Chain A
Amino acid sequence: MTPPPPLTPLRAFMLGVRALLPMLLGVVPFGVIYGVVALQSGIPPLAAFLMSSLVFAGSAQFLLAQLVGVGAPVFLAVGAVGLINLRHALYSASVAPVLHALPRRWKLLLAYLLTDEAYAAAIPHLLREPRSPLAHWILFGAGFALWFGWQLSTLAGVLLGAQLPADLGLDFALPLTFIAIVVPLIDSRPRLIAALTAGAAAVLLVAMPYKTGLFVAVLAGLVAGAFMQGRSKQ
């Protein structure tokens, strides 16, 4: 076996791009569906497309489009997006040591591109070469590939959405996507309890105004999960 060629910025970038490419298979249809759902929520095409670069967060964009569609107040929409994206703080903490010595412009750029998919694609390489001075190019490659795929697919969805009849049931893509994200995360009893508590509370509290029952339900899930975790440790 020949030793791998020395890492250059371009090679590191392409390593990230290649690690991300298979994920585009799931992301592209998701992006197209987002574009369609956004238009069906009454959002004009330009604003629907701009959300993909200004917010750049798949499931949060679905939620935001739907909240706008039902006329939810602005503070609730911003709060809901923050709540959904809070998981990215985990990724931020995880990649922070790798990016520690970089200039600020790199940190800003990579933070903007830090999504579930880019993190999942880049982290195996970052763990292998945490001390490499080029490790950030891997994360940049993965992040950029996802960004580019997301922009193109949501643009396609926005263009397609204008041609489609309204009631195809495409809004069912949102719960389906959440199921696809959440179910693989549930790998322990405390996590299952957190999910069941939050889900049941959300159904029971659905009559609370402006979806505020959602916040109570999430909090109930957190408390139940943390309580079960504390008990299982003793």
Chain B
Amino acid sequence: MSQTALILLWIACGLVTFAIRYSFIALEGHYQPPSWFIRWLPFVPIAALTALTMPELLLVAGQLDLGTDNSRLWAGLFAIAVAARWRNTLLTIGSGFVAFWLLHQLG
């Protein structure tokens, strides 16, 4: 894609993002969101981000790889454990990277 096409794509994505952020601020006092929407919404980031992450950890070149040489899988599992224990963004990303590079050097 040309630089102009990319920037037009950013603008489209920016408008969608802005519309989501503006939605209830704009509607305040005019509209009450349905209760099922409020109930389902918390599941969206969880389902979306996990669906993006799992193939990155489990697949190598499109094939399931549970072997010890799949550094992403083991570093990812380590990061999940760190995130569950300390709930700290920087620590999770940092320790995951260190684990990944160490495993990569060893492998």
Contact = CB atoms under 8 A, between A and B. Distances in A.
Given A43-B6, A47-B10, A199-B50, A184 B83 contact: yes
Interface string A176-211: 111111111110001100111111111100110000
A178 B53 CA distance: 7
B91 to A, nearest CB: 8
A111 B21 contact: yes
B38 to A, nearest CB: 7
B46 A185 contact: yes
Nearest to B27: A96
Interface of A: 25-26, 29-30, 43-44, 46-47, 50-51, 54-57, 59-60, 63-64, 68, 74, 77-78, 81-93, 95-97, 99-100, 107-108, 110-112, 114, 169, 172-186, 190-191, 194-203, 206-207, 214, 217-222, 225-226, 229
B10 A183 contact: no
A143 B42 CA distance: 22
Q: Is the interface of A mostly helix, strand, loop or mixed?
A: helix
Contacts of B20: 82, 85-86, 88-89, 92
A196 B12 CA distance: 31
Given A44-B3, A81-B13, A179-B53, A96 B72 contact: no
Contacts of B18: 111-112
Contacts of A183: 80, 83-84, 87, 92
Given A78-B12, A99-B25, A175 B57 contact: yes
Interface in B52-76: 52-59, 62, 64, 72, 75-76
B100 A92 contact: no
Nearest to B72: A172
Contacts of A29: 90, 93-94
B51 A214 contact: yes
Please indicate which of the listed interface residues A55, A114, A184 has the most CB atoms of chain B within 10 Å of its own CB: A55
B7 A107 contact: no
A78 B13 CA distance: 5
Interface string B1-30: 101001101111110111011111111110
A225 B47 contact: yes
A95 B26 CA distance: 11
B40 to A, nearest CB: 6
Contacts of B42: 87, 90, 185, 191
Contacts of B7: 47, 50, 54
A196 B89 CA distance: 21
A92 B22 contact: yes
B22 A111 contact: yes
